[in-house]
């Protein structure tokens, strides 16, 4: 791969400040680990996203699309090719009566604040989820009894050939921590959601309650990717991990959080390899003791 050629071609699509070379992925993930991406771009509009995807696809250049990096573990060797980060640069939204339209790069927390201001109820569950809207749609993110599929009306998507189309809630195939994006290469561009009108005080009370639960029960002071494992059918991952005697167990600077065993945290200097080693220990121990195979909720990408 001729990175100079790729860089020059991307300069025809994007501003220089929106293209980073040899960019450490630890700067773009909530785990604060990860080697360099050959090139990382932060597009500002739909047209740029389409042009980038078309160019990379046509030239057969590998690329990876990410949101806020809050559910991502990038390996220490980094990512070859181009990382397309859909974040702050692409985060506009509009609220008209009870309909909300938002670009996929907006943070759920920011969107939730504005939905609350508009006295719309139904998005309280998302107020504490640390990801972007696009990532939340891709994995049907949820918490405290709510999930994205409860509020989504339709999703505007881009396929790898540069075609833009819209899918309804039903067509999105939402399931537990999955959607149509789980098995198909599609980019979330924009999401339309519908809510019910409510009273500001009532909605705020629910948001405050969720905030208290999160801050008291989750290790928000340390880098992590949220819940490391999906909930196994009939069990809770955190309880299995605790019952397996793994509470507080560490591998170098990767640790099973003593505050919430469902979280693997970075105590400061963990590498991706350390975190993956601890994940392997957890999976093996839980499987040996309870015959339950935990499945990662965090997405693992990159090279060793």
- pLDDT by residue for the chain (304 residues), tens only, comes to 899 999 999 999 999 999 999 999 999 999 999 999 999 999 999 999 999 999 999 999 999 999 999 999 999 999 999 999 999 999 999 999 999 999 999 999 999 999 999 999 999 999 888 889 999 999 999 888 899 999 999 999 999 988 999 999 999 999 998 999 998 999 999 999 999 999 999 999 999 999 998 889 999 999 999 999 999 999 999 999 999 999 999 999 999 999 999 999 999 999 999 999 999 999 999 999 999 999 999 999 999 9
Q: Do residue 146 and residue 184 come from a single domain?
A: yes
Q: Do residue 128 and residue 190 come from a single domain?
A: yes
Which residue spans within 86-168 are E strands per DSSP? 93-96, 99-103, 120-121, 142-143, 146-147, 152-159, 164-168
Q: Do residue 84 and residue 103 come from a single domain?
A: no
User: What are the φ and ψ backbone dihedral angles of 146, each rounded to 5 degrees?
Assistant: -125, 155
- Look at the chain and report how many structural domains it folds into: 3
CB 78 within 8 A of CB 37: yes
Q: Do residue 31 and residue 114 come from a single domain?
A: no
Q: What is the pLDDT of residue 144?
A: 87
CATH number where 187 lies: 3.30.465.10
Q: Do residue 19 and residue 62 come from a single domain?
A: yes
CA-angle at 259, arms to 257 and 265, nearest 5°: 25
Q: Do residue 17 and residue 78 come from a single domain?
A: yes
CB 103 within 8 A of CB 189: yes
Residue 298's Cβ-side half-sphere holds a number of Cα atoms within 13 Å equal to: 26
* DSSP H/E element including 191: strand 186-194
CATH number where 49 lies: 3.30.43.10
End-of-domain residue from the set 46, 69, 88: 88
Q: Which domain holds residue 224?
A: 219-301
End-of-domain residue from the set 88, 123, 151: 88
Place of tokens 């759920």: 108
Q: Do residue 211 and residue 120 come from a single domain?
A: yes
Q: Do residue 198 and residue 100 come from a single domain?
A: yes
Q: Which residues are catalytic?
A: 177, 227, 297
CB 13 within 8 A of CB 51: yes
Question: Which residues have a Cβ under 8 Å from the Cβ of 16 and sit 6 or more positions away?
Answer: none
End-of-domain residue from the set 88, 105, 137: 88
Q: Do residue 207 and residue 109 come from a single domain?
A: yes
Over the range 203-232, which residues count as b (16 or more CB within 10 Å of their CB) and which as e?
bbebbeebeeebeeebbbebbbbbbbbbbe
User: What are the φ and ψ backbone dihedral angles of 255, each rounded to 5 degrees?
Assistant: -140, 145
CATH number where 296 lies: 3.90.78.10
Report how far apart, in Å, the C-alpha atoms of 119 and of each of 130, 152, 198 are.
22, 18, 5
Q: Do residue 193 and residue 97 come from a single domain?
A: yes
């Amino acid at each position: 791969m001729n990175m100079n050629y790729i860089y020059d071609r991307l300069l025809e699509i994007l501003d220089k400040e929106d293209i980073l070379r040899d960019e450490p992925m630890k700067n773009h993930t909530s785990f604060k680990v990860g080697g360099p991406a050959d090139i990382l771009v932060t597009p500002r509009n739909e047209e740029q996203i389409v042009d980038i995807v078309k160019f990379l696809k046509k030239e057969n250049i590998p690329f990876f699309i990410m949101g806020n990096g809050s559910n991502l573990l990038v390996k220490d060797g980094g990512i070859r090719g181009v990382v397309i980060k859909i974040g702050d640069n692409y985060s506009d939204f509009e609220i008209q009566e009870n309909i909300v339209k938002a670009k996929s790069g907006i943070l759920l927390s920011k969107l939730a604040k504005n939905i609350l201001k508009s006295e719309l109820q139904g998005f309280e569950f998302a107020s504490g989820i640390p990801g972007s809207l696009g990532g939340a749609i891709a994995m049907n993110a949820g918490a405290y009894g709510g999930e994205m599929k409860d509020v989504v009306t339709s999703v505007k998507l881009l396929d790898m050939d540069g075609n833009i189309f819209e899918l309804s809630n039903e067509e999105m195939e939402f399931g537990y921590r999955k959607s149509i994006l789980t098995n198909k290469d599609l980019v979330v561009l924009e999401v339309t959601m519908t809510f019910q009108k409510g009273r500001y005080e009532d909605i705020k009370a629910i948001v405050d309650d969720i905030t208290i639960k999160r801050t008291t029960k989750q290790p928000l002071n340390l880098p992590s990717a949220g819940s490391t494992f999906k909930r196994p059918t009939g069990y809770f991952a955190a309880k299995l991990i605790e019952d397996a005697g793994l509470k507080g167990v560490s591998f170098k600077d990767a640790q099973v959080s003593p505050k919430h065993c469902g979280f693997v945290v970075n105590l400061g200097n963990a590498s991706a390899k350390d975190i993956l080693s601890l994940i392997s220990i957890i999976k093996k121990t839980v499987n040996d003791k309870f015959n339950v195979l935990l499945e990662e909720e965090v997405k693992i990408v990159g090279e060793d």
